[in-house]
Structure 1
């Protein structure tokens, strides 16, 4: 496994009476250049090399929007089992943990665990982590009251496959909560969830100068 010592910075966000401190990658472009320096030309041509790009290391607006939404609606997660898919730096998982959720944070990138656990320590919170590629892995990790994710609709993968991939982790009567910056694949995904028998409630969260959609899906 390639090990790159990215240059980082500390980012702070206050929600309510809680200060969250997250260690993030200083510059995505700089980090990608660092990866290219350690990969051979052949390795760079490998389509799987893109999976090593440290997109996880940025505090994206969709993650901030989901975190803000949980701060405004803690009843959705309090005392619930919660699975975060593609957690990255883990901001929504940290907020959910603070509000009494039993969270399992997951991601497929090999470097995420180190950063996520650091951010738990920086924010004085304890949260479980597991490496998981939810789009590909078929391992049984149990069912959860809430399945959440931020900006997970960035690929052109068939919307129905993504919907089924999320639903397979959900307990009967549970909720899927997703945030999205308005990706092109959002509408096909909403239609796929409807075909699976789910209705949605939506909200619009302001994150600095951007707007983030948050959807709460429930089985009809």
Structure 2
């Protein structure tokens, strides 16, 4: 009965660290077709205004976009369910997956809840804390690491699958995202990037192909009256 006390204390202390940085609320959400606890920022718009007031100072570290609940992350969750069904549960459990720009961790946690081992990355220390809290029940299969795409010397290993939700919203990020993808992708692997059919997605489509990648598109209908979520499947030529 006492063995769980230290873990509970660690989780409580993690929550207190997060609350000193950003206002959050504990709620419930659906991931991998299961209802699970979820910590979300109560006022992501306030983070955005703060970042705008600071201008470029802090860079990725103060990027507030991770705090919002993006439709693209929900679409990636459902898409991962499709892939898991195609490869089979046994093969899925043998996979190691890297999430880029994971934010609060929805896509990576989705992959882990389905049985894969996952490394969720972000450049924001606050996002990483929230992600660790959200992944607490999956911590035997999830690790959270800091990854700054600009650091070309940083290498976390090779992964057969890379995922990212709504990380191609700014064309200025393409030239630093693409080398990061190359550094971490197994030669026969695939990168899956979700986005809600913005015009910047169209720009990424042509840009990534001009950088030498092969591209396929998949679409996920969230049945919410909005545009379908587009999934870019990116592979390097064999």
Query: Equivalent residue for 2:5?
Result: none
Is the aligned partner of 1:20 residue 2:36?
yes
- Once residues 167 and 63 of structure 2 are traced to their aligned partners in structure 1, the CA distance between those partners, rounded to angstroms, is 16
Tell whether the 8 Å contact from 2:26 to 2:37 is kept in structure 1 after alignment: no
Alignment equivalent of 2:225, drawn from 176, 190, 209: 209
Alignment equivalent of 2:25, drawn from 4, 8, 16: 8
Partner of 2:21, secondary structure, is coil
Query: Aligned ranges for residues 1-220 of structure 1 at < 5 Å?
Result: 3-16=20-33, 18-32=34-48, 35=50, 44-49=53-58, 51=60, 52-74=62-84, 75=86, 78=92, 79-121=94-136, 124-126=137-139, 127-136=142-151, 138-157=153-172, 159-207=174-222, 208-210=224-226, 211-220=228-237
Q: Give 1:168 deviation, angstroms.
A: 2.0
Larger helix proportion, structure 1 or 2? 2
- Once residues 78 and 233 of structure 2 are traced to their aligned partners in structure 1, the CA distance between those partners, rounded to angstroms, is 14
Partner of 2:199, secondary structure, is coil
Tell whether the 8 Å contact from 1:146 to 1:170 is kept in structure 2 after alignment: yes
Query: Equivalent residue for 1:40?
Result: none
Q: Give 1:153 deviation, angstroms.
A: 1.1
Larger strand proportion, structure 1 or 2? 1
- Once residues 213 and 81 of structure 2 are traced to their aligned partners in structure 1, the CA distance between those partners, rounded to angstroms, is 24
- Once residues 138 and 193 of structure 2 are traced to their aligned partners in structure 1, the CA distance between those partners, rounded to angstroms, is 23
In angstroms, what is the RMSD of aligned CA positions? 2.7
TM-score, normalization by structure 1 = 0.82
TM-score, normalization by structure 2 = 0.76
Structure 1 unmatched ranges of 5 or more = 37-42
Structure 2 unmatched ranges of 5 or more = 1-17
